[in-house]
Amino acid sequence: MQFYVLGFFGIDCGADPGLNYTDLGFGINYVSDANFINTGLIGNISSEALIGTKNQRQLRWLRSFPDGKRNCYKINVTGGSKYFIRTVFLYGNYDGRNMLPQFDLLLGPNHWVTVTIFNASKDQFKEIIHVPSMDYVQICQVDTGNGTPFISVIELRTLKNDTYVTQFGSLEFYLRCDLGSNTSYSYPDDVYDRYWYDRSFWNACNFGENWKPLNASIPDDSLNENDYKPGATIMSTAVTPANDSAPLVIRWEPQHETDQFYVHMYFTEIQVLTTNQTRQFNIMINAESWFPNCSPVYHDWLTISSTSAISGKELKFSLERTENSTLPPIISGIEIYNITK
């Protein structure tokens, strides 16, 4: 398998054999899936569903699997390297039955996620960060008796091995949010094409409360970036407590108390502070110290990541202003991943 711009590689499921094209909007080269699987049927989505895709070429068709319990793609990779893998699903009433399916997705022999299609005309995605031990990965659709499995797109991106480090397992996407923005972003604002939800989605999930947004104009070349590369657009906004003396609280209740999470928080100082201003805060997790004396530097990215998995009935991060700080805490973005074995 060949990798292209920034290590991005896309498989257009159901496309004609030999097809090869570049989607400039996403910076990805796509090829047909014909060389990666020899089962399944090709289907075309309805014209009504295509309108909602902004005419993305890779979503015009799909491959479905009406036969067999398990059907797998085999994709050559570099064993031991870290990959960001995204699968995309757009039902689009391709079969004329208007029956929304549910099926399992496996990464090799291990269960990755259950795919539940909620809207025939809206694409859905599943993401995972994975380090394959072999020189290939298998992505499998499993029929669970709740409708025919299908898939529209598979995308792979290479990541640096010293990012998104875990003690074990792979990282299944849980949530990613540009906390201060009213707009969602992906490529080219994020060079890895991670999809960043906006603040309204975060608020709808009730993960935070009583915040006010901050924003500034940060040129791409003015930031001292790190390997996580969230991008100047994402880092140009932030949130702070509506009450300057109150903590900034991020919390959620996992579906299962035993679920294990890794969290990555992104900070930069977006305001020019005067000589008598200081911004410093402690980050607490469930009332225990997680990262003390955090003081973001102007236009310098700071990524604070979990060093081990966290779990509990409720997970509550509290960014608490220190006694010698004249300004409240801020945060620009957050990524949350669930461990899957």
Residue extents of the structural domains in the chain: 5-159, 170-340
Name the residue type at position 235: M
Long-range contacts of 33-38 (CB under 8 A, 24+ apart): 33/63, 33/73, 33/154, 36/11, 36/73, 36/74, 36/75, 37/63, 37/71, 37/72, 37/73, 37/74
**With 90 as the cut, is the pLDDT of residue 246 above it?**
yes
Higher pLDDT residue, 189 or 326? 326
Q: Rounded mean pLDDT of the chain? A: 90
Per cent of the chain over pLDDT 70 is 95
Range 170-340 has CATH code 3.30.1380: no
> Is-cis flag, bond preceding 241, omega within 30?
no
Residue 207: per-residue pLDDT: 73
Which of 7-11, 97-101, 238-242 comes out lowest in average pLDDT? Answer: 7-11
Measured distance CA(305)–CA(324) in Å, rounded: 25
pLDDT tier at 11 (50, 70, 90 boundaries)?
Answer: very high
Q: Which CATH superfamily is domain 5-159 in?
A: Galactose-binding lectin (2.60.120.430)
pLDDT tens-digit map of 156-178: 999 999 999 999 999 999 999 99
Measured distance CA(263)–CA(175) in Å, rounded: 10
Name the residue type at position 211: W
Token pair recorded at residue 187 = 């490529």
* Mean pLDDT, residues 84-92 taken together: 96
pTM score:
0.92
**With 60 as the cut, is the pLDDT of residue 5 above it?**
no
Token pair recorded at residue 258 = 């035993």
**With 70 as the cut, is the pLDDT of residue 284 above it?**
yes
Asked whether 177 and 201 are in contact (CB, 8 A), the reply is: yes
pLDDT tier at 89 (50, 70, 90 boundaries)?
Answer: very high
Residue 73: per-residue pLDDT: 97
Asked whether 266 and 336 are in contact (CB, 8 A), the reply is: no
Residue 220: per-residue pLDDT: 72
Residue 25: per-residue pLDDT: 73
Which of 101-110, 215-224, 232-241 comes out lowest in average pLDDT? Answer: 215-224
Measured distance CA(187)–CA(182) in Å, rounded: 17
pLDDT tens-digit map of 203-233: 766 676 689 999 988 777 777 778 898 889 9
pLDDT tens-digit map of 122-152: 999 999 999 999 999 999 999 999 999 999 9
Which of 66-70, 124-128, 130-134, 185-189 comes out lowest in average pLDDT? Answer: 185-189
**With 50 as the cut, is the pLDDT of residue 2 above it?**
no
* Mean pLDDT, residues 77-88 taken together: 94
pLDDT tens-digit map of 295-331: 999 988 899 999 999 999 999 999 999 999 999 999 9
Residue 1: per-residue pLDDT: 37
